[in-house]
Chain A
Amino acid sequence: MRDELAKTVERLRDRLREVRESRGTGDRVTETDGGQEVGADEERAVGTDRRVVERSAFRRLLDHDAVQSAPFWLPPFLLMGFFVYAAIGWNFAISLTDYQGFGEPDYSVLDLDNYGAMLSDPAMWAATRNTFALLVGFTLVCLVVGLVLAILLDREVRFGRTLRTIYLLPMSLSFIVTAQFWMWMYNFNFGIVNQLLGVVGLGPYSWLGNPDLVLGSVVFALIWQFSGYTMVVYLAALRAIPDDQYEAARVDGASTLRMYWRVIVPQLKPAMVSASVVLVLFALKAFDFLYAIWGYRPRRGADILATKMVREAFNKQEWAYASAIAILLFALSLAVIAPYLYQQHRQGNL
């Protein structure tokens, strides 16, 4: 099977070379190439015969690669586009109505009242503040912990693969599952966290009850779940760094720590950027975890925009107001993705 494939490839390569050579000597290969220069020539040549021009224009449209490849990318694009982009547009339309309770939205009166109401809702401000605290705390600590894990596992560690598998394990679990585990870890009387702190004479603390602690506790659990992810991203980037750079730094007499800090870590910047984009988006989705612990109403101090949005919609049936919050969430994630995509595009990574 592989051999056959290789043979085909070899044959095709030869053919390609032939064609390129013939192109070099001036032979035009019109029937296989719908490229620009050929098109321009044709237009000049057949200017006398209208019908031929029209037909060839139509032919060219059909031959165009965008049209030829449409059967492949268009159906998935339409399905995805409807559920993602049309839904966001629809959501924006709902946010302009005053849809609430049961029944259907009335699109005849549209205004920005819901956005005004958001500004004067004190719970909104608290949720926004919590969202940012969670985003920043979670993303930064994950980046650091993941880096430490990756560096520890990077060089000549025995059982490296097993260890990596263990550190990444929590990520394969559902938020709903990990929330159960952490509720038990944080349990006031019997949880491991309080028991361990009790050994050194601290606590017990109400990790999930105290408004000052609750957000930190949630962030800690999320770091447990996702630091393995950053580790994997860094490990891939570390593997791409050639060995001689390590050797050179070592010959120079740099200590391991200095070598990483000066030589290796600066090269991880692209990995760091893409990992933080993904982490921010994980954090925006932390809804599942909070819902599994508290349902629609998280403890004071743990309400984030995502939980508030779902509560307003599916608990209070304030659909229009909830969709305004959803638009805010969308704008927040767009503020993270758009510069990232633009940067990726400029670097030719897209």
Chain B
Amino acid sequence: MSHEEERPEARNATRRSDALRRAALYATLAGLVAFYLAPIETGLVTSIKTSEAVRNTLPFLPPGLSGFTLDKWAFAFDALSHGMVNSVLFTIPSTLLCAVFGSMAAYGLTLVDWRGQIAVLALFVAGIFIPYQAVIIPLSEFWSIWVELDERLAFLWALPLLEEHHATILELIVTHTAYGIPICTILFRAQYQTMSWEMIEAARLDGASLWRIYRRIVLPLSVPMFAVVFIFQFTQIWNEFLFSLTIIRSVSDPAASVTLILSGLGTALEGVDFPLRMAGAFIAALPTLIVYVLFADQFAEGVRV
């Protein structure tokens, strides 16, 4: 009888400590949210401030009515808009090409079993991890001295909609595709490894060609992985900077990508124009932010491998 009276109290005590623990957990999680969003939040409120308001208001508070302006956004948009067009022009084709090549390579190296494929595969995996510094000198040499696309394709530039700087865009497409293939191959391979071996083997015994198996069985099953690869590769290529710097070289080049223009935006002798830079940063990040917010799960999956 006596311990039956104690029980509710003990239960109450554990319940209270449980509640306390949960409160502490959520407080920590909220604090972390503040930490991860702070640089973005301060950037956003700063981007709509006048230079006056930047000096007079706290960095994480929005400006008052008198200190509010969208001028910086307008200016940044003007500066970055053709860079956005260029970035779209090379990001989307190379994302698609990477995904297709990656899926094909993963199929040939995973679902078709042959000796020596591990060695080829190891070269693909190692390709993910190569620091780009190790290739950029030959790369810029290759495009600027050996290939000279802009001269070779000179007959094209008279056509409507095509301009000479599209040669540089084409170079970027090929470059990004080549360096994106390894990661896409490994992403697709991770999925193909979980596919039923029996199924493929049986289809082959039935006389289906490799191409037919790929088109009829493998491709329909890889649609979700294509989504992952598109999302991931799109953000990677859009955000890339080193190839832009070394292949395009100049911020004022008509082919300049959005990251390249952003890196030179708002620097003057008088100092850095922070509201302008913040507005520029948001405009440059907008496509990836939208893609990320809409497809966070796919992005997380792409990152994980």
The segment from A40-48, A50-58, A83-91, A107-115 found at the interface with B is A83-91
Whether, in the assembled complex, B263 has its beta carbon less than 8 Å from a beta carbon of chain A, the answer is yes
A326 touches B137 (CB 8 A): yes
- Complex Cα spacing A218 to B202, Å: 55
A15 touches B206 (CB 8 A): yes
The residue from B114, B122, B196, B296 contacting A345, defined by CB atoms under 8 A apart: B122
The residue from B107, B204, B210, B289 contacting A32, defined by CB atoms under 8 A apart: B204
The residue on B at minimum CB distance from A344 is B125
Beyond A72-B105, A84-B130, A176-B284, whether A79 also contacts B177 by CB under 8 A is: yes
For residue A191, give the distance in angstroms from its CB to the closest CB of chain B.
Answer: 6
- Complex Cα spacing A94 to B141, Å: 11
Whether, in the assembled complex, A277 has its beta carbon less than 8 Å from a beta carbon of chain B, the answer is yes
- Complex Cα spacing A236 to B303, Å: 11
- Which residues of B61-106 have CB atoms within 8 Å of chain A's CB atoms? 101-102, 104-105
B43 touches A181 (CB 8 A): yes
The segment from A121-129, A158-166, A243-251 found at the interface with B is A158-166
The segment from B6-14, B155-163, B233-241 found at the interface with A is B233-241
For residue B287, give the distance in angstroms from its CB to the closest CB of chain A.
Answer: 10
The residue on A at minimum CB distance from B30 is A163
Whether, in the assembled complex, A261 has its beta carbon less than 8 Å from a beta carbon of chain B, the answer is no
- Complex Cα spacing A199 to B240, Å: 38
- Complex Cα spacing A85 to B139, Å: 12
Beyond A174-B241, A229-B303, A350-B121, whether A73 also contacts B175 by CB under 8 A is: no
How many interface residues does chain A have, given as a range? Answer: 35 or more
The residue on A at minimum CB distance from B113 is A65
A-B contact pairs, 16 of them (CB 8 A): A12-B198, A65-B114, A72-B107, A72-B108, A76-B104, A76-B181, A169-B292, A172-B292, A192-B60, A195-B58, A287-B242, A306-B133, A310-B245, A332-B131, A341-B125, A350-B122
Binding site for A on B (CB under 8 A): 25, 28-29, 32-33, 35-40, 42-43, 46, 54-55, 58-60, 101-102, 104-105, 107-109, 112-118, 120-127, 129-142, 145, 174-175, 177-179, 181-182, 185, 196, 198-199, 201-207, 210-211, 214, 216-217, 220-221, 235, 238-242, 245-246, 249, 259, 262-263, 272, 274, 277-278, 280-281, 284-285, 288-289, 291-293, 296-297, 299-300, 303-304
